[in-house]
A and B are shown apart, each in its own frame.
Chain A
């Protein structure tokens, strides 16, 4: 056999290639990605707890604030000892980290049950509101954006620009109060409170959800209309049309894919702000969720509940960002290697 050097450098013989099956390398890369994700999660949660600790102690010893303005020094000292605020800061930090990770924030000052129980009981009610608002936002925002992206109507575009403006620049409590004034006070069509959350009946539930959905509607509308308009100009749309695909298939399968990734990103980025809006909407409509409880805890200086509720909100945001991040990578195959 002549030893002719073939151009292929270091060509792996067929037998050695078969020894490393494809699924194994996929499994390794998935494991590596999962490890990276978990690592980042731990890092962010650690940062969240550290920031929370710093803020809780940003005014020195919190005992003075908790005990109240007219408290005697003896009372302040008592509160201080009760919560352990007289220990060295590093010691408190360590205990705080260790306990918070296990969701132990102490007993609620007001209700004498663990603060975490108070928070976790109310959490599902809040999550229902947020989830329904998002569903409404997607159901309304995507079609409106699609229509604007696909048509050239300037009148419609102008109308949508106003909708976007309303959603982003009008405060939640203003839009909530306006709706309550016209739909409840003047016309009497809808009740103005939803004191039982989802059980208050459909009529009572419409307004809180609609008010909370205004902001994500405007964001989803923005993203969808610009995304669709851009992607409709791509070459692959022309290819799909020339292959005979019907207009609905062209839009839903080809034009919309890149918009999906942008939507997922926008939902993730805005999620923290939605929770803020959720707190206000809950207070306005007496929705029995975490919002009113947090506000109440602040006004009575219920330190464990405030810390626990805040941590709960932050964890939700972090988990949501994680999910949108994973979803984003799954949706856009170009990012899967990273």
Chain B
């Protein structure tokens, strides 16, 4: 029950004009004011760069075995500088395997998250625009799929499809679309009743144009936030599957699989599973922090 009818009236007109003129810049500035998120972004960029430049930067190949240096400790713990982070039981350099493993892991995560986002958004728009019929079916699908825990769903698919890269991509892509569909559908239902959409309909815009011009731009910020969280979730799922031995198979380097193998040597050779575990945790943490910051920065402004 505030006296001011529109909060914008309380501000001087110049500030209002400036704020409305370039809302994007305000968002970007707000994001960069959060130190945790900026740090996360920088760290993630470094990891991505290391993955892309692995063939150039890595000291060894991912499968080159150094028979003289099996289970060598890291350089500061009694090892040599040629294997900075130590080696595994076959003498393969940990740092190189981490960098090469990053390629598969990050590629899977980004791809799967993007596919999930696209599928989920499309179905969400569909369910929102056509409330009965198709909308009911999509809703029903959402409820059904939400009943399956992620890992369990993935295990079912791997049972019948084996564990190739393609299967992993399929598995990782089908699990997360529900959150997009739900959010986008809710937004679409809300937007359908706004004045500008009704006006657009009234002046004869086709459904496709309305979706393109009014609906998609308005859901894009939420989809972006979800996408960032999806990367963290897919990464988590992928490393969990690899940990269970059902992800990317050896000898291809993969963080979760390195972690699982390293657990057997935890007593004496701590570095074997510590560094892959650290890599997984840091990457997930970064994606999560960025997602959180995006959510805080984008949501209140565009509602």
Task: Report A's interface with B, CB cutoff 8 A.
Answer: 43-44, 47-48, 50-52, 55-59, 62, 65-66, 69, 165, 168-174, 177-178, 180-181, 185, 272-276, 279-280, 283, 294-295, 297-299, 301, 303, 306-307, 309-310, 313-315, 317-318, 321
Contacts and interface: CB of A to CB of B under 8 A. Distances in A.
Contacts of B218: none
Interface in B129-183: 140-141, 143-153, 155-162, 170
A47 B245 CA distance: 29
Contact of B244 (A65, A168, A283): A283
Contacts of A314: 147-148, 152
B259 interface: yes
Given A69-B162, A169-B281, 20 more contacts: A44-B144, A47-B144, A58-B157, A65-B160, A169-B288, A171-B240, A173-B243, A178-B277, A181-B266, A185-B266, A272-B146, A274-B149, A294-B152, A295-B244, A295-B246, A298-B159, A299-B246, A310-B155, A313-B148, A317-B146
28 contacts: A44-B147, A47-B143, A47-B147, A55-B156, A58-B157, A65-B160, A65-B162, A69-B162, A169-B281, A169-B284, A170-B284, A171-B239, A171-B240, A173-B240, A173-B277, A174-B280, A177-B273, A181-B266, A185-B267, A272-B150, A276-B150, A276-B240, A280-B244, A295-B246, A298-B246, A306-B156, A310-B153, A317-B148
Contacts of B147: 44, 47-48, 272, 314-315, 317-318, 321
Interface string B251-295: 000000001000100110010010001001100110011000000
B159 A301 contact: yes
A147 B232 CA distance: 30
Given A169-B232, A185-B267, A279 B149 contact: yes
B151 A279 contact: yes
B43 interface: no
Closest 5 CB pairs of A and B: A47-B144, A276-B149, A275-B149, A276-B151, A314-B147
Chain B interface extent, by class: 35 or more
Interface of B: 140-141, 143-153, 155-162, 170, 232, 236, 239-240, 243-246, 259, 263, 266-267, 270, 273, 277, 280-281, 284-285, 288-289
A255 B266 CA distance: 47
A51 B155 CA distance: 14
Contact of B151 (A59, A280, A315): A280
Contacts of B280: 171, 174
Contacts of A276: 149-152, 240
A283 B211 CA distance: 46
B149 A173 contact: no
Contacts of B158: 298
Contacts of A169: 232, 281, 284-285, 288-289
Contacts of B246: 295, 298-299
Contact of B143 (A44, A294, A299): A44
A280 B155 CA distance: 12
A314 B147 CA distance: 5
Contacts of A170: 281, 284-285
A58 B173 CA distance: 14
Contact of A55 (B143, B160, B245, B266): B160
Contact of A294 (B155, B245, B281): B155
Contacts of B161: 58-59, 65
A323 to B, nearest CB: 14
Nearest to A65: B160
Best-surrounded residue of A56, A169, A303 (most CB of chain B within 10 A): A169
